[in-house]
Each structure stands twice: as C-alpha cells, then as structure tokens.
C-alpha cells in the first residue's frame, strides 16, 4: 500500500479557489452594477449530466454569480440548439456559456460549440479558444486541464524542464493539457491508443496525466519513483453483489501508484472538484474582459 505518497487534495484546493473567486465578485459588482453570469445548456435528460449541471449551478450561486440553466429536449434539432446559443451570445447578462457534453447522437457537437462566442467560451472548446491556446494568446483555457496545471504547480512549483506524459488526446482534456504543459516549459509527450510500449513511455515521466477513460489502466509499475500523478478519469465500476452503485475509480490503479509516486490525486476528490472551480474562475475572467476590466489578480 501507499508507502506515503502525498495525496493531492483537489477538493480542498478547489474550495480555497472558490473562496477567492467569491471574494473577487463584490469588486466586479461595484464596478459594473451586476454579477458575473454563467449559462449552462443541457440537451436531453441524461441523469449524470443533470447532476453535474445541478452542482455547477449551486457552485455558481455560492460564488455570488448569476446562474442561468437552459434545458432542451433530447430530440431538439441542431437549429434549436444553435438558436439558444445565439440568444445567449447576445445576452449581456451572460458572461460564460457552457454547453454540457456529450450531446445526443443526432446533433453535431463541433458545429454547435463553434457557434459560442469565443469571449464567452468558459469551457475553452471553440476553435478560436483552441487556436489561442496553441498560439499562446490570452483566451479561455479548458477547465479540467487548467485545474490539473494548478495542482501540479502547487506541488512542484516551476515545471520547467520536467518530462510530462499525457495519456489520452481528447479535445476536452488531453490536447489542451499538452498545450498548457508545453506553455509551462515541460517536455511533453502525448500518448494514445496507438502508442508503442506505453508502460516504458510512462516510466520516463516526472509528471503523468491520465485522461483516457479506462478504469485503472495505468499500473503502479509504470510510475517512476517520485513522479507526480494526476488522474483525470472518473469511471464507475459495475456494482459489487448486492450494491446499488459501483465504486468510482480513476484511470490509474491508485493504491499501486501511490506506493511509488511522490504525489497522486484521488478519485473522487482530486481533479473533479477543480473542474467546477476553474469554470467559475473562467466565468470571472470572462466577465472582467467583457466589461473592459483588467483580469482579476491571482487566478
Ligand atoms: N462541456 C462540458 N464541460 C465539462 O466540464 C463537462 C461536460 N461538458 N460534461 C460532463 C463532464 C463531467 N464533468 C465533471 C465535473 C466535476 C466532477 C466532480 O466534481 N466530481 C467529483 C465527484 C464525483 C462523484 O461523486 O460523482 C469528484 O471527482 O470528486 C465530475 C465531472 C464536467 N464535464
């Protein structure tokens, strides 16, 4: 078992971040006469998505911001989704727009996301946001990778020269994570399903970010002693006999990896809570930029 890896408490870090965000809201209100506003759009009635949307709404209100929730039926058309996004683009009370993914299968996700005003793109998913991130221009950075970067910098300080391996190349996490680590002067390798000898590759890494969505895929003997491991996966295992729900596990075999790593994020209580805190951070930043104010300090 864990020989004593430091357990990175994402829940506590996120709570601290949320307090600092809430403390910055009154100055924004004083300057503009309104609260920062976040609109979340949910298409369909996937229960897990409904839970996330609910917790985002609560966190938004707790930070002193305005929350707008929009639900469309599962059979909504592309035109209906895009018309709603267009109305939110035009609404001055809305600083941030989050289109909950995945969308029902008949809808074109990329085309819908691309209609979001990049200045309100608090998820950092529009082509313009991705381009800005790739070019190193100030823009909106996807919440989950940004949260991972904050946790890494908190543990390691300056990341310059570190060897980082990102396992997974998704639009939501892997690709933007690689761009952020590169921006922080890491030597970055992005591994994926076609990567040759993944265990050997991961063994070279000072920083491992696992974001593949496969329960406990990254094993303890892949981890270099002293590495920092960030587990982005949130996978629910099938229920054990008699249980209603299965256990939540990450993409990393936690106990094995904790026995060799310097530090590791748990699931739950690691990266997940950072995602929501960073969404509020992005909303606060978007609100300042839209109001012509300087970026809030210290985020
Ligand atoms: N456009 C878009 N942006 C997203 O950021 C986005 C999305 N769509 N679709 C769904 C996923 C999922 N997601 C999570 C956020 C927080 C936790 C979280 O806080 N989890 C807790 C609790 C987990 C539990 O108990 O279920 C934890 O890891 O400790 C989980 C999952 C954001 N997503």
- One DSSP character per residue, 112-161 reads HHTTS-GGG-TT--SHHHHHHHHHT-S-PPPHHHHHHHHHHHHHHS--TT
Nearest partner of 81 among 53, 46, 43, judged by Cα: 43
Catalytic residue among 119, 123, 206, 251: 123
Tokens of 18: 């949320």
pLDDT, tens only, 1-27: 445 799 999 999 999 999 999 999 999
Tokens 């892949």 identify what position? 222
CA distance 5 to 227: 10
Query: Is residue 105 marked as binding?
Result: no
- Fold of the 143-273 domain: Rossmann fold (3.40.50)
**R_g of the chain computed on alpha carbons:** 19
The ranges assigned to domains in the chain are 33-119, 143-273
CA distance 294 to 299: 12
User: b or e along 247-267 (b: 16 or more beta carbons within 10 Å of the residue's beta carbon)?
Assistant: ebbbbbbbebbbbbbbbbbbb
Which pLDDT value is given to residue 4?
A: 79
Tokens of 177: 């994570």
143 CA: nearest ligand 1 atom: 5
Count the Cβ atoms, other than its own, within 10 Å of residue 56. 21
- Provide, rounded to the nearest whole percent, the portion of the chain with pLDDT above 90: 94
pLDDT, tens only, 68-92: 999 999 999 999 999 999 999 999 9
123 included as an active-site residue: yes
Instruction: Give strand pairing partners of 38.
Output: 67, 96
pLDDT, tens only, 241-254: 889 999 999 999 99
Instruction: Report the chain's mean pLDDT, rounded to a whole number.
Output: 96
Which pLDDT value is given to residue 299?
A: 87
Whether 170 and 151 have beta carbons less than 8 Å apart is answered as no
Instruction: Give strand pairing partners of 209.
Output: 166, 230
Q: Cα(105) to centroid of ligand 1, in Å?
A: 20
SS3 63: coil
ipTM: 0.96
Half-sphere exposure of 25 (CA within 13 A, CB side): 22
CA distance 204 to 182: 17
First and final CA of the chain: distance in angstroms? 35
CA distances from 245 to 216, 239, 252 (A): 18, 5, 20
pTM over 0.95: yes
Query: 41: which DSSP letter?
Result: E
SS3 249: strand
pLDDT, tens only, 111-154: 999 999 999 999 999 999 999 999 999 999 999 999 999 999 99
DSSP-derived pairing of the beta strands 207-210 and 228-231: parallel
Q: Cα(271) to centroid of ligand 1, in Å?
A: 9
245 included as an active-site residue: no
Tokens of 274: 């950072």
Alpha helices in 33-46 (DSSP H): none
Nearest partner of 152 among 200, 190, 206, judged by Cα: 206
Question: What is the SS3 assignment for 178-231?
Answer: HHHHHHCCCEEEEECCCCCCHHHHHHCCCEEEECCCCCCCECHHHCCCCCEEEE
Q: Ligand 1: residues whose CB is within 6 Å?
A: 52, 98-101, 123, 143, 234, 248, 267-269, 272-273, 275-276
Whether 188 and 178 have beta carbons less than 8 Å apart is answered as yes
Which pLDDT value is given to residue 200?
A: 98
Which pLDDT value is given to residue 3?
A: 59
Would you say the CATH fold of 143-273 matches that of 33-119? Answer: yes
Q: Which CATH class is domain 33-119?
A: alpha beta
């Amino acid at each position: 078992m864990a020989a004593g890896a430091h357990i990175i408490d994402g829940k506590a870090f996120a709570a601290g971040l949320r307090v600092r965000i809430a403390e910055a809201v009154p100055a924004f209100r004083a300057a503009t006469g309104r609260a920062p506003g976040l609109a979340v759009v949910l298409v369909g009635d996937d229960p897990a998505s409904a839970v996330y949307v609910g917790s985002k709404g609560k966190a938004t209100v707790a930070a002193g911001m305005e929350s707008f929730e929009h639900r469309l039926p599962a059979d909504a058309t592309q035109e209906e989704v895009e018309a709603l996004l267009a109305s939110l683009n035009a609404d001055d009370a809305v600083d941030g727009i989050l289109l909950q993914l995945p969308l029902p299968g008949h809808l074109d996700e990329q085309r819908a996301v691309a209609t979001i005003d990049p200045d309100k793109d608090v998820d950092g998913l529009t082509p313009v946001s991705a381009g800005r991130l790739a070019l190193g221009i100030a823009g909106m950075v996807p919440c989950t990778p940004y949260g991972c970067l904050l946790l890494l910098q908190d543990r390691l300080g300056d990341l310059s020269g570190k060897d980082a391996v990102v396992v997974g190349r998704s639009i939501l996490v892997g690709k933007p994570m690689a761009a952020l680590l590169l921006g922080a002067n890491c030597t970055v390798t992005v591994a994926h399903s076609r990567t040759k000898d993944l265990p050997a590759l991961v063994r070279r890494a000072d920083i491992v970010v696992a974001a593949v969505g496969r329960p406990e895929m990254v094993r303890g003997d892949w981890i270099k002693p002293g590495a920092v491991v960030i587990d982005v996966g949130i996978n629910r295992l099938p229920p054990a006999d008699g249980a209603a729900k299965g256990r939540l596990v990450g993409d990393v075999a936690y106990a094995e990896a904790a026995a060799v790593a310097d530090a590791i994020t748990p699931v739950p209580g690691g990266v997940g809570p950072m995602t929501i805190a960073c969404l509020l951070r992005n909303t606060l930043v978007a609100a300042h930029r839209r109001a012509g104010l300087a970026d809030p300090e210290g985020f």
